[in-house]
Every structure is written in C-alpha cells, then in structure tokens.
Amino acid sequence: MTRSACYVFAGGGSGGHLEPSLGVAERLLSDDPDCHVVFLTSRRHIDRKILSTADFCRGSRCCVVPLPLTGRPGLRPSSLKNLAGMLMSVRIATRLLRDRRPRAIMATGGFAAVPPLLAARRLQIPVLLFEANVQPGRVNRWFAPWAAARLTAWSSHGQTSSADSADSLPVGMPLRTRQEETLCQEQNRQQAGSTRRILVLGGSQGSLRLNRLVHQALAAVRLPPGWQVLHQTGQPGSQEQRDASAQTSVRIRYTEFITNVPQAMQQSALVVSRAGAVTLAEIAQAGVPAVLVPLSSSAEDHQNRNADHLANHGAARVIDERDPQAAAKLSDTLTDLAENTAARRNMGRAVRAFHRPDAGQTVAGLLRDLASRPDGRVP
C-alpha cells in the first residue's frame, strides 16, 4: 500500500512566517485529496491566532505541533529557558519527522524553523526555504547552503531583489484564497473612487506608536471634500482618537478589528500601514497605493528594506517614524495623494506589478517536484 504524501511546514512567530505556508498547504490539500500536512510552529499567541483562521487546520488532514518555543535562545539568564526549549524542540521535531516521514519540508525562517531544519538535515529530508521579506532573514541565511531550493517573494519585476537573494527564485507571495476575494475587483475599485477612503492599518505589530502618529497627522490633515478615513486601531477607543476627530473636518471611523483586510484594501483609495511582508503582498494584490510607516524596531530592519524596495519602484511612499517631523510629513503626503489622482493611479499600477496570483500553486508544484526527485533537488 502506497503511503500518502506528507509535507511539513516549519516556521512561526509572525504572519510572514506562517501565511506563505498556509497558502501553499491549501493548494497541496486541494490538489491531492490523499496528502496531509504538518505545521511545526512556536507557542506564541500570534501563531495560534493565525492558524485558527484556516479552516483546513481543524481537519483530519492537518496536524499542528506547537514546539516549546517562545523566543530566541541566548546567554542571558532570561534566555536560558529559550535555549532549553530549543533543545527540547529539536528532539520533538526529530521524532515527528521520523514518524511522519515527510517527503519534503518548507521552512519560512524565524527561530521556530530552527529545530525542524536541524532535524531535517540530520535525517536528510530535502528542504525548500522560502523568504517572505526583501532581505533574507538570519535563519534562512544560515541554512541556505543545505537547502534543496531557495525561493523569495519579492523581485524587481523579474530580477531578484537583493544581493543576498541572488540565488533565490522569485515566485511571489503565496496567499490563501478567500471566498470574499471572488468579488469583482473593478467594482470595488469604482466604489473606492466614489467613497475616497483612506484605510489605516494600525492593528498590527507596533500599533500603539503608529496609531499615535496617525492621530497627530489626521488632526492636521487637509483633505479634499468627500474623503473619509477607516482606522483599524487594534485597541479600544482612546482620548487621542477623540482629539483627532475633534480637530479635523475629515470623517474618521475607528474599529478595533477588520475581518477581511484584502477586501477593505480593494474598497479603499489609499492605505497607510506598516511594511510587513504579508501586508505588502495584500496591498500588491489589491493594487492600491500605500503610504508605508515601517516598524523601526523590526528584526534586522527588514520592514524598512521592504518599504524602500517598493518605494524605489514608485509603488509606495515611505515615512520614517523616527523622524521628529513624521506626523507633519504623513499629513502632507496624505493631502498630496488625495489631491493627485494620477499619482495614486501610477502607484497602484506599480505595486500591482509585484502581485503573482499563481504564487501558491507555483510553490506547491516546486514542493511536489522536490518530494518526487530521488536526489532531493528542484530541477
């Protein structure tokens, strides 16, 4: 009896480390009714939250194994527990891989990917490395020499995006399919033109600082008539929100959470957000111009690198939150773009050029090819 195909996905700790895996796993499960998938993640709350949004993760063909990891190991006393968790996770990952005998592993970087990658190297299981950011992260750089294939989400319209990813194949960002995405995008864009809405995504990592910056900018912004703002704050109403609403004639609606962010983007004329890889991929999918405020404390400054990459191609404007004049610059930028339809249209076209609708199917196919080859290499 032929053993059904098993694929393992390693990584966690952020949306950029989980969403690509979910997008690929969805394709594999859809294309092969006999295969099953395993997710090796961290025990962070963000991992549980993201995985809970995928219906197939609650089915019998998907197994989620949270490894005893909450952070990066180190030499400080507070990090010794993380080191113990890392060693224990290597043992757990090794046992699971021996038992499940996966045909291939897709790893997306981050500290949660280290134990499965070490176990896979020991057991000689082929690994496909996927990098969601413009600049490859530390873990992906460490394990690159042993990977059977290296993929990157971002390209310079056909060229790899950085020197460190010169040997990586640009494939785009695998995104999950959503029923709501069957809505006609052109109708949504027409609706956006009539509502003249600015969408602010402040409910992500580093949301408090971004929300304060946006409040200050909106208090001083001078938008043309008819414009309004939908601000996802990720937190309950605050005095700063009330002050911003009182100091501007712009209609501002605050919400703690938006269920369908891609649809909200498609129904907006402009987006203000951080520069995480998944958010930027959704912006590219929607083809909506964006003002990016990279998280200044992001690991290895990867959000600034992401934002600069899009800005260098005319696909976004960038505001440095460390700049003392950041609020004023954000206010001026929003006013300028609201008044300049041609600039918004050109930015939307530029960012849309980064979208690869076939990314999930492409990566799933490469993973299947890797699993089927006796030499464990992608052709």
- 216-257 residue pLDDT tens: 999 888 899 999 999 998 776 666 776 767 777 788 998 888
Quick: pLDDT tens for 176-211.
Answer: 986 335 444 544 554 444 569 999 998 666 688 899
189 within 8 A of 293, measured Cβ to Cβ: no
Quick: pLDDT tens for 306-336.
Answer: 999 999 999 999 999 999 999 999 999 999 9
Overall average pLDDT of the 120-138 stretch: 95
Domain check: are 149 and 204 in the same one? Answer: no
Is residue 233 one of the residues assigned to a domain?
yes
Q: What is the pLDDT of residue 64?
A: 96
Q: What is the pLDDT of residue 10?
A: 98
Domain check: are 31 and 136 in the same one? Answer: yes
Q: What is the pLDDT of residue 164?
A: 53
Listed range (57-71, 74-88, 117-131, 247-261) with the worst mean pLDDT: 74-88
Q: What is the pLDDT of residue 249?
A: 77
pTM: 0.89
Is residue 378 one of the residues assigned to a domain?
no
Provide the H-helix boundaries in 67-159: 77-100, 114-123, 138-143
Is the pLDDT reported for residue 360 higher than 60?
yes
Q: What is the pLDDT of residue 308?
A: 96
Is residue 1 one of the residues assigned to a domain?
no
Is residue 265 one of the residues assigned to a domain?
yes
Q: What is the pLDDT of residue 79?
A: 63
Q: What is the pLDDT of residue 29?
A: 96
Is residue 379 one of the residues assigned to a domain?
no
Residue 45: count other Cβ atoms within 10 Å of its Cβ.
Answer: 9
Domain check: are 145 and 273 in the same one? Answer: no
Overall average pLDDT of the 106-118 stretch: 95
For 341, what's the count of Cα atoms within 13 Å in the CB-facing half-sphere? 6
The span from the CA of 179 to the CA of 359, in Å, is: 18
Domain check: are 121 and 15 in the same one? Answer: yes
Which long-range contacts does 67-72 make (Cβ < 8 Å, 24+ apart)? 67/40, 67/41, 67/42, 67/43, 67/92, 67/93, 67/112, 67/115, 68/43, 68/92, 69/12, 69/42, 69/43, 69/44, 69/111, 69/112, 69/115, 70/42, 70/43, 70/44, 71/111, 72/111
Q: How many domains does the chain fold into?
A: 2
Domain check: are 193 and 339 in the same one? Answer: yes
Quick: pLDDT tens for 31-54.
Answer: 999 999 999 999 988 899 999 989
Domain check: are 212 and 341 in the same one? Answer: yes
Percent of all residues in the chain with a pLDDT value above 70, rounded to a whole number: 84
Is the pLDDT reported for residue 159 higher than 70?
no
Overall average pLDDT of the 339-347 stretch: 96
Domain check: are 195 and 156 in the same one? Answer: no
Least Cα distance to 129 among 139, 119, 192 occurs for: 139
Domain check: are 241 and 332 in the same one? Answer: yes
Domain check: are 199 and 55 in the same one? Answer: no
Domain check: are 137 and 243 in the same one? Answer: no
Q: What is the pLDDT of residue 192?
A: 46
Is the pLDDT reported for residue 77 higher than 60?
no
Q: What is the pLDDT of residue 163?
A: 46
CATH of the domain at 51: 3.40.50.2000
Q: What is the pLDDT of residue 133?
A: 96
Listed range (143-147, 184-188, 340-344, 375-379) with the worst mean pLDDT: 184-188
Domain check: are 193 and 329 in the same one? Answer: yes
The span from the CA of 170 to the CA of 222, in Å, is: 40
64 within 8 A of 57, measured Cβ to Cβ: yes
Is the pLDDT reported for residue 158 higher than 70?
no
Domain check: are 153 and 290 in the same one? Answer: no
> Is 152 strand, coil or helix?
strand
Mean residue pLDDT of the chain comes to 87
> Is 357 strand, coil or helix?
coil
> Is 291 strand, coil or helix?
strand
Q: Which run of H or E residues covers position 34? A: none
Q: What is the pLDDT of residue 284?
A: 95
Is the pLDDT reported for residue 141 higher than 90?
yes
Q: What is the pLDDT of residue 167?
A: 79
Which residues sit opposite 197 in a β-bridge?
228
Q: Provide the domain limits for residue 82.
A: 6-173+357-372
Q: What is the pLDDT of residue 373?
A: 79
Overall average pLDDT of the 1-25 stretch: 90
